[in-house]
Structure 1
Amino acid sequence: MDQLLLFFVSLVANLFSAFSGGGAGLLQLPVLIFLGLPFGVALATHKVASVALGAGATLRHLRENTLERHFTLFVLATGLPGVVLGASIILQVPGRMAEVALGCLTLGLGLYSGSKARLGQDYHPGHRDRRGMLLGGCVLFFLGVLNGSLTSGTGLFVTLWLVGWFGLDYKRAVAYTLVLVGLFWNGAGALTLGLLGNIKWDWVPALLAGSLIGGYTGAHLAIRQGNRWIKRAFEVVSILVGIKLIVG
């Protein structure tokens, strides 16, 4: 029964995450803790499973050919060092105050996006000069630290930063978030946490299966439905993740 529950929770959480651009930890991480895992073990196990979300989404988005090679390498180069740093320090740091602060910020993301009707509806690349890329890369590094240390909602930050600063529409931003954050950032975080902590390996297969199927299905729905529906899903998930982090 535990395996079935893990598969179902992983499937639902990652389907919505792949459609909205983040938030899988809203449901998946608390369930792992509820089933008896300590926070550090639950976080590491969730990170491993989240890699399959990125893999499933990657399989679908690569068929659309929406990712720019140079910008992809830029997001990886600026974010991955932050992920490793965040994952290295989280096991020694009590995270409750950080979770509340992150929850307030995430809630603000959803409310901000909801107040901007045209946000992310059109593709207008911006801030691609040296100064813009430098500032954008610094923020991506910081978001990488958050991604490595606090799993819930950080993909939503990346999605909105790609929309608000670099001028991507929601469909493109979600594609970058799922492929680069879901597969590579989470992969680096899972590897770091696995080396420094423990992973509940006998729970991983069910979580991986749910993440892979949910990631592919959610990415397919995002591609089919377009920016308006993705924007609404992003706002709903951001608000729910924010409330969950604040309430605990």
Structure 2
Amino acid sequence: MDIELSIIIVLTLVALLTGFIDSIAGGGGLIMMPALLFAGLPPQLALGTNKIQSVFGTSMAYRNYARAGLVEWRKEKWLALLAFAGAAIGALVVQQVSARVLELIVPLFLLAVAIYVIASPRMDDAQAHQRLTRKGYAPVVTGIGFYDGFFGPGTGSFLAASLVGLRGEGLTRATGHAKLFNMLTNLGSVIVFAFGGKIIWLLGLSMAVGSMTGSWLGSRTAVKHGARLIRPLLVIISVALTARLLWGWFQA
């Protein structure tokens, strides 16, 4: 599929914005996906191409959180691999199944995230008692990984909120670990979409430049300001994604 240079430039700039948002609170995919569809990409090509820029963006964000000492790779690596596997399976399934029902369920999940962030006094940088061990959290991260491979928007928000609520992590550290898991879910999705021929490589790699730039800026900003920035942005993104998904459902 041929893409005009002007469209590549515009989508690269959009990727810069979504990379900034994603690196802090997640949810950039619901800006990027409509932009790709508006540019004329078929849905499956849009999903696959979006994952290219996402994997580069989350990798950059992960690098900055890790360098700030906010990620424990050795302790979390098995959960990251489960997220990878879940996303790969989700990407396989989405190439065969309609996402119509999921598009109605997702807003409810996002709204729940927003309510939790607003209501919970624990959505800050203080560590809290964990409700689930790493082993107990494994099905959760695998399920979120599956969702990311199948559809995607809001994955970072789901991961961050679940790590705070279920694992007792501080919000900034939870966001760092969310980027680790999200990096692996994006990688798993890219591999499957690539084998399925569902990626426009020139466009995806061009967008990756914008995404990496935005993620570098966003993650450094989040590390500096911590929960004071992440908490309100997480609420705004969750509510905005809920409204956007519900609007899309009723317009379909």
When the two structures are superposed, what TM-score results if normalisation uses the length of structure 1? 0.93
- Aligned residue for 1:179, secondary structure, equals helix
The question of whether the paired residues in 1 share the 8 Å contact of 2:154 and 2:238 is answered with yes
Deviation of residue 125 (structure 1)? Answer: 5.3
CA distance in 2 between partners of 1:120 and 1:227 (Å)? 5
Partner of 2:212: 212
For residues 124 and 101 of structure 1, do their structure 2 counterparts lie closer, same or farther at Cα, with a shift above 3 Å needed?
Answer: same
Deviation of residue 147 (structure 1)? Answer: 0.9
Let me know the Cα RMSD of the aligned residues: 1.5
Unmatched segments (≥5 aa) in structure 2: 1-5
CA distance in 1 between partners of 2:29 and 2:56 (Å)? 13
CA distance in 1 between partners of 2:199 and 2:82 (Å)? 27
CA distance in 2 between partners of 1:174 and 1:168 (Å)? 9
Aligned ranges 1:131-150 → 2 under 5 Å: 132-150=133-151
Q: Does 1:8 align with 2:13?
A: yes
Q: Which runs of 4+ in 1 moved over 6 A?
A: none
Percent of aligned pairs with the same amino acid? 25
More displaced stretch, 138-147 vs 108-117: 108-117
- Aligned residue for 2:67, secondary structure, equals coil
Partner of 2:63: 59
CA distance in 2 between partners of 1:91 and 1:106 (Å)? 24
CA distance in 1 between partners of 2:185 and 2:164 (Å)? 19
Unmatched segments (≥5 aa) in structure 1: none
Partner of 1:153: 154
Deviation of residue 139 (structure 1)? Answer: 1.1
Deviation of residue 134 (structure 1)? Answer: 3.0
Partner of 2:3: none
Q: Does 1:185 align with 2:189?
A: no
Partner of 2:199: 199
CA distance in 2 between partners of 1:81 and 1:13 (Å)? 25
Partner of 2:234: 234
Question: Paired residue for 1:97, among 82, 85, 101?
Answer: 101
CA distance in 2 between partners of 1:19 and 1:77 (Å)? 22
Amino acid aligned to 1:159? A
When the two structures are superposed, what TM-score results if normalisation uses the length of structure 2? 0.91
Report Cα offsets for 1:77-133 as digits up to 9, x if no partner.
3222211111110011110210110112112211221122442331235246xxx33
CA distance in 1 between partners of 2:106 and 2:52 (Å)? 22
The question of whether the paired residues in 2 share the 8 Å contact of 1:111 and 1:239 is answered with no
